[in-house]
A and B are shown apart, each in its own frame.
Chain A
Amino acid sequence: MNFSNILNEISKADPEVFGKMDDRRSVLKNITRKVALTALPLALGTTFNKAYGQSNGTVIKALNYALGLEHLEAAFYKEALAAINAGAFPTISPASPAYAALDTIYKHETAHVAFLTSVINSMSPNAAVAAATYDFTVGGQLPTFTDYTILLAVAQVLEDTGVRAYKGQANASLMGSANSEVLTAALNIHSVEARHASHIRQMRATSAGGGASVKPWITLAQSGITAPSFANFDGNYTGEELTVQGTPAVNIVNIGASGITAAGASEAFDEGLTDVQVAELVKPFIVVA
């Protein structure tokens, strides 16, 4: 996500946004939040700081990084389900297939939290990071829990980014016989996140979900999301347009005289992100650690 212009946009939309707040603590809290959202690499979410600060090994570091993302996702779906239960969306009831799907995903994310917490603490007592405090509306600017199409858009971004994050950790640091079970477990979460992403994308393509022009897979670097002017999700998809793979480079477009297009070539391969990239992308949702 890119919220770097959030202060400008908020002040344009409501120049007296701060003046309207007569509670000093509230003002300070909100200013702090806005600054935190906009200050670029200086303010990584504390979840991630903990991941770096407490790690006593590469594996624990990687697992805590994953756990931080799972905390984030679990919190999102918990709030999404609560919103549906509270009647936030006229067209979506707790008895709907949409609710059931979000509940399925929520249960997986909480299971991932429990699993990773258990694994990390078994490797190093009390090393697992705790959940942070999240704000998926980004200071009330994103109608995440009042507009169902935005809810699903944020879900898609979280799932697709989660896939990219796990993929970015699938590297030499987790390889070797000593780590093979950790690596396999991480891969087994990675593919489940991809299953989630596929389903959320299908939900977005339905009329109830907004009729978005998205497929279960990622085409080029397209998010398929029309976001509010101050925010965009382009950064979450940057790099997905890759059509050349491997070393030496193999061009997937028309490989083997197959007629594969650039769109198809990009869809056929998902691309990873580094931990630093992912931390930057999810930072707008993290308020207080």
Chain B
Amino acid sequence: MNKKEFSTELPPNEVKGFSRRNFLGLTGGLLAAGALLNASCNNDDDDRSPAPGITLTNDDIGILNYYFALEQVGAAFYTMLVNKGFYANATNSEKALLTDIRDHEIAHREFWKSTVGTKAIQTLTFDFNVVDFTSRDSVLTHARLLKDLTVAGYNGIASQFRTPANLVLAAKIMSVEARHAAYIRDLLANGSFAGNDVVDSNGLEMSKKPSIVVTAVNSYLKVKLICKLP
């Protein structure tokens, strides 16, 4: 999957008002666009997707593991960026703040891992070959995509927690992810911190269903996530 189709063909499953149910429509659109590479995220597709993967169950543990997976991806991405010495001509400020983000992602990853305990999914394996870590534009474009997906992903499923404490913990992290997202977006285009591609006409984040987010994130994973979450 190349960067262009990845970034432009994932319409948000936004929540507008109180009656909008466009998940099926979006899924259809993605299929038509050829962007839904791993269809295993639909329950209906289980029989047709026997490939081994890492299952996110439809319960609180599944949501927590989903967040754990998102943070694993983020932590791996920024760790690689820092370890490779950043992209060309990174400023000192950028280096410092991107290192901060790495640390936050590691903190989130380790915290969710600890929270889920023995039911935690395995350590993910990553494929960042599509990212040119020497290129500012390449790094920040992928970083923006992943950050916006993470915010949209946290928001899109948090209402389904059964245990209130899990919602509280998720909320503590999701706003930090949004702070990251705004910063990354501004690095690419100052003033785009809350652009029309991520915030709708009601001023609401265009949150996304796990199925949409997992499909996108799977393109960075060697062993794919299988999503049983709604």
Q: Which residues of A contact B (CB under 8 A)?
A: 97, 100-101, 104-105, 107-112, 114-115, 119, 122, 163, 166-167, 170-172, 175, 179-185, 187-199, 202, 215-217, 245-247, 250, 252, 255-256, 258, 260-261, 264-265, 267-272
Given A191-B155, A215-B97, A256-B110, the answer on whether A269 and B183 have CB atoms closer than 8 Å is: no
Please tell me which one of the listed residues A252, A256, A258, A270 contacts residue B175 in the complex, with CB atoms under 8 A apart. A270
The residue of chain A having its C-beta at the shortest distance from the C-beta of B155 within the complex is: A187
Give the interface segment out of B27-35, B38-46, B189-197, B221-229: B189-197
A192 touches B205 (CB 8 A): yes
Which residues of B130-170 are within 8 A (CB) of A?
151, 154-156, 158-161, 164-165, 167-170
Docked pose: A171 CA to B186 CA in angstroms = 31
B203 touches A192 (CB 8 A): yes
Which residues of B195-210 are within 8 A (CB) of A?
198-199, 201-207
Please tell me which one of the listed residues B151, B160, B161 contacts residue A191 in the complex, with CB atoms under 8 A apart. B151
B159 touches A199 (CB 8 A): no
Residues of B with C-beta under 8 A to A97: 190-191
The interface centre, meaning the residue of B100, B170, B181 with most chain A CB atoms within 10 A of its CB, is B100
14 contacts between A and B (CB under 8 A): A107-B203, A115-B202, A115-B204, A170-B170, A180-B160, A183-B158, A185-B18, A194-B178, A198-B180, A198-B193, A255-B106, A258-B106, A270-B176, A270-B179
B174 touches A187 (CB 8 A): yes
Q: Does B49 count as interface, using CB distance less than 8 angstroms?
A: no
The interface centre, meaning the residue of A105, A185, A197 with most chain B CB atoms within 10 A of its CB, is A185
Given A97-B190, A175-B164, A269-B172, the answer on whether A184 and B155 have CB atoms closer than 8 Å is: yes
CB A256 to nearest CB in B, in angstroms, measures 4
Docked pose: A251 CA to B190 CA in angstroms = 35
Docked pose: A183 CA to B108 CA in angstroms = 23
B176 touches A267 (CB 8 A): yes
Interface residues on B, range: 35 or more
CB A92 to nearest CB in B, in angstroms, measures 14
A163 touches B191 (CB 8 A): no
CB B54 to nearest CB in A, in angstroms, measures 20
Please tell me which one of the listed residues A111, A197, A268, A269 contacts residue B202 in the complex, with CB atoms under 8 A apart. A111
Give the interface segment out of B3-11, B83-91, B111-119, B212-220: B111-119
Q: Does B76 count as interface, using CB distance less than 8 angstroms?
A: no
Interface 1/0s, chain B 96-124, versus A by CB < 8 A?
Answer: 01001001101111110111000000000
A216 touches B179 (CB 8 A): yes
The residue of chain A having its C-beta at the shortest distance from the C-beta of B185 within the complex is: A195
Residues of A with C-beta under 8 A to B198: 195
The residue of chain A having its C-beta at the shortest distance from the C-beta of B202 within the complex is: A115
Given A217-B104, A260-B107, the answer on whether A167 and B171 have CB atoms closer than 8 Å is: yes
Residues of B with C-beta under 8 A to A190: 171, 174-175
B108 touches A192 (CB 8 A): no
Q: Does B82 count as interface, using CB distance less than 8 angstroms?
A: no
B194 touches A268 (CB 8 A): no
Docked pose: A99 CA to B109 CA in angstroms = 37
B168 touches A272 (CB 8 A): yes
Residues of B with C-beta under 8 A to A264: 100, 103-104, 107
The residue of chain B having its C-beta at the shortest distance from the C-beta of A270 within the complex is: B175
